[in-house]
A and B are shown apart, each in its own frame.
Chain A
């Protein structure tokens, strides 16, 4: 088996047995990036030399018989909204194109402490806002299964790089489905942990009450490996839950006896693609053949989930993104141009004798804010800032934000009731398989419906996972969505492993077109 085909778990075993070196593994993945990322474009930066140096250091320490971390020598790709010292942390935005964090996110610090090799920062929708990675300010990522289609988003780069064997493991973030939907579109395993399970410290905030960092991998077993390292209480994050961390790696191979699956009635309604539905139903039959029982359940408030999400997430985003004002760091408009513009406007108003216009004219500071933010944010980010600012404004807050919080509690209540009777909830990850690049860029509402089945887990704060469960006739992966009660990630992982022991969807690999060897098209961030 080639290094690129092996699972992370297998690679770790071979590394531990000194059958292969970290440098060999890292080099193999870097070579794969060089071969294919010109087409896939999953990475915003690939600091190859540093990655190789990290790998060499791990090999040297192993050679000296030193104690190594649990991911020693294993390459991991990281979504570019996690603060990483030494490299740019751009969030896929012009605003932070040149931003370098002076500190590591807790997840990054834990990966480093585990001796993982950080192989690159992956592309994403700007500030993680989107479902196709087309909102990246730099370039869209393509789906490794079909370069004319999106990998999903916002963790599109993290999903695509694992699907394309450019990294055995990657880190994404999920605010409304941003790990699970791209995992489904790319045919990999992606897990959104329970809110509070993984530290958000150093994750650049989109919607703080919904954001959660999680693993993407080829298998549930590999996802367990990565989750084990990144999860656990962090005193730097007040919302990180002070609960014990189970032994995911040790238990993932144990099948779940008497598994009770709940099938959400509302998730098999209008909008669900036939092929997706068939694959999901087939997967459920597979679980039944493994001894699971299936009951139909109802999440009556799930019909309000998208509306609720698109009030709460933008509200928080409008606040979280206020700090990008062009004053302290990040993008700042051309000040000379700005002052000239103001002077010209002033002159014009004076000539017209327009006193009201003069009174309303921006101060230089106000114009600095206005221009910096107008120039550096993309349209989806601006749309959400405006939605959120509106939903929180006096006179509208009760009708939108406060009401959305109430519905959110009802959605959580639905889950609490459902989990009285079932162990896991099962359904489709997304209504369709990967859609075409550009298909939805002019229709943000259609794009928002991509999150139909995934947002409820974020609103309720529960755990969810997407695993590959089929292929469309056109050769695109289909994702199966499993949801578990709070802090039952171990249950998700065991169910995923059970399924993957019985099926081979997770072993399918796309046929990648090889780019000309003239070099990569990696965007070179300064």
Chain B
């Protein structure tokens, strides 16, 4: 991914819809998918005389997220009006935060268990609250020039999270977004549904190209219209290549003539970015403090209380799992990235069977596979961690082998049985040691060639006996058959 010819500089702007019942400055519902313009009131559609009143819950969710992003929380923050004309912005301004945001100077750590990039802390420039605009739907069929406006979304609380330009590759950018989404999910502040627009990403990218005596920077491009993390990664990769090609054919530098910031849109079908807007200078939004709203103050004690109630967050949780259950970093990533409920299940399972590594393998290989197959979530999974723990204990005790245990789990799923009952239903029972010994003697007697091989130290030959043993009695433990047969052969006179 790293191109030695240049360094890629990426910063992200993420808009997250906070999961509140009601809008940021009125009491309209924020639920998605209602008939257009049915979730509106005089306040959110900006009727004359209406006034905003801050939703304290939205503020609390923003604060929680900012604290989890390790941001500094100033004691005093205020609301500003960001002014521009657009039909889906009925007040003619967005209520946002300009020079005194509710949080700034945080960081989020990203890492890659596959080692594609080194673990790093990505700076968070700021995270601030604002109200969302409505939706414009343009009918662009031939001969039509209708635009329709749905103001249901108008006033939905958004947290805008701006990263420092610390990301050095599209893969890092994607990892940042994944880790951020995971964090937001653990915090329960957003459903992060990109399709429904609850999480929107804009990216800024340019290249630092080493020259003989200095480093040249290409003009910054802001990329919009990316509807998945994959699209973000691809758009950034495309844009890095495009900027490098552009540089080689015509080296224009940032800030030099023709080197101003531009906006490009990602075309997912064509897999290219297209120019949207030539920004000669930043738009003048004429920000000023919203006189309809009071500033918000937050004390250090309040911040400490929020911090104390955050619960286990992904990065810390991975470390805990690695240390407590002796699993490796990769496994910790897989488990934690599935979300808190799966981690809870894993921890309960590990506690029940006393073997973290085995619990981790079972969750990853079997539980996740079954969840996938049945398209359910861990909360809906009918086999509790305690019940599965009983099965894993039976494996540890040698009552059932790993392969058959998978059949047992399926039986438990199908019949809601306990591990013991499912094993009984499948006719699995512990084979008595004297029965085991007589079975082994019988097999050795019937297979002199194998006995001869074993005497010569060709231990692999025992495999043939295991297959025969399982045919005679499916409950036998292959490991026990193997060790007992070898033991019996060694006792034979040579």
Interface residues of A (CB under 8 A from B): 81-83, 89, 91, 96, 99, 101-103, 105, 200-205, 207-209, 235-239, 315-316, 318-319, 321-323, 325, 327-329, 364-365, 369, 389, 392-394, 397, 401
User: Which 8 A-B pairs have CB atoms at the shortest separation, nearest pair first?
Assistant: A322-B92, A209-B291, A208-B291, A392-B286, A202-B49, A204-B48, A83-B49, A394-B284
- How far, in angstroms, from A499 to B55 measured CA to CA in the complex? 46
- How far, in angstroms, from A238 to B53 measured CA to CA in the complex? 6
- How far, in angstroms, from A328 to B85 measured CA to CA in the complex? 12
Pull 6 A–B residue pairs with CB atoms less than 8 Å apart, ordered by A: A89-B48, A207-B291, A238-B51, A238-B52, A322-B91, A401-B288
The verdict on A238 contacting B294 (CB below 8 Å), with A393-B284, A394-B284, A397-B288 known, is: yes
- How far, in angstroms, from A99 to B292 measured CA to CA in the complex? 23
- How far, in angstroms, from A322 to B291 measured CA to CA in the complex? 15
- How far, in angstroms, from A103 to B46 measured CA to CA in the complex? 13
Main secondary structure of the interface of A (DSSP, over half): loop
Number of B residues near A (Cβ < 8 Å) is: 29
Q: Which residues of A sit under 8 angstroms from B52, Cβ to Cβ?
A: 238
A-B pair count, CB < 8 Å, reads 102
Q: Which residues of A sit under 8 angstroms from B149, Cβ to Cβ?
A: 327-328
- Contacting residue for B91 out of A83, A235, A323, CB 8 A: A323
Q: Which residues of B sit under 8 angstroms from A207, Cβ to Cβ?
A: 291
A239-B291 in contact (CB<8A):
yes
- Contacting residue for B51 out of A81, A200, A327, CB 8 A: A200
Interface residue B293 (Cβ < 8 Å from any Cβ of A): yes
B83-A328 in contact (CB<8A):
no
Interface residues of B (CB under 8 A from A): 42, 45-54, 81, 83, 85, 87, 90-93, 145, 149, 284, 286-288, 291-294
Q: How far is the CB of A372 from chain B (nearest CB, A)?
A: 11
Given A82-B49, A327-B87: 13 more A-B contacts, CB < 8 Å? A83-B48, A89-B49, A201-B50, A201-B51, A208-B292, A237-B51, A319-B81, A322-B83, A327-B149, A392-B287, A393-B284, A394-B284, A397-B286
The verdict on A319 contacting B294 (CB below 8 Å), with A102-B42, A236-B51 known, is: no
The verdict on A105 contacting B49 (CB below 8 Å), with A238-B54, A319-B93, A392-B288 known, is: yes
Q: Which residues of B sit under 8 angstroms from A91, Cβ to Cβ?
A: 48
Q: Which residues of A sit under 8 angstroms from B292, Cβ to Cβ?
A: 205, 208, 238-239
Chain A's closest residue to B42 (CB) is: A103
Q: Which residues of B sit under 8 angstroms from A208, Cβ to Cβ?
A: 291-292
B49-A323 in contact (CB<8A):
no
- How far, in angstroms, from A99 to B50 measured CA to CA in the complex? 14
Q: Which residues of A sit under 8 angstroms from B51, Cβ to Cβ?
A: 200-201, 236-239
Q: Which residues of B sit under 8 angstroms from A393, Cβ to Cβ?
A: 284, 286
Q: Which residues of A sit under 8 angstroms from B45, Cβ to Cβ?
A: 328
B49-A205 in contact (CB<8A):
yes
- Contacting residue for A319 out of B42, B54, B284, B288, CB 8 A: B288
The verdict on A322 contacting B93 (CB below 8 Å), with A238-B292, A239-B291 known, is: yes
Chain A's closest residue to B53 (CB) is: A238
- How far, in angstroms, from A204 to B42 measured CA to CA in the complex? 12
Q: Which residues of A sit under 8 angstroms from B54, Cβ to Cβ?
A: 238
Q: Which residues of B sit under 8 angstroms from A401, Cβ to Cβ?
A: 288
Q: How far is the CB of A70 from chain B (nearest CB, A)?
A: 24
A236-B53 in contact (CB<8A):
yes
Q: How far is the CB of A321 from chain B (nearest CB, A)?
A: 8
Q: How far is the CB of A176 from chain B (nearest CB, A)?
A: 15
A203-B49 in contact (CB<8A):
yes
Chain A's closest residue to B292 (CB) is: A208
Q: Which residues of A sit under 8 angstroms from B291, Cβ to Cβ?
A: 207-209, 239, 316
- How far, in angstroms, from A209 to B83 measured CA to CA in the complex? 18
Q: Which residues of A sit under 8 angstroms from B286, Cβ to Cβ?
A: 318-319, 389, 392-394, 397
Q: Which residues of A sit under 8 angstroms from B294, Cβ to Cβ?
A: 238-239
B87-A365 in contact (CB<8A):
yes
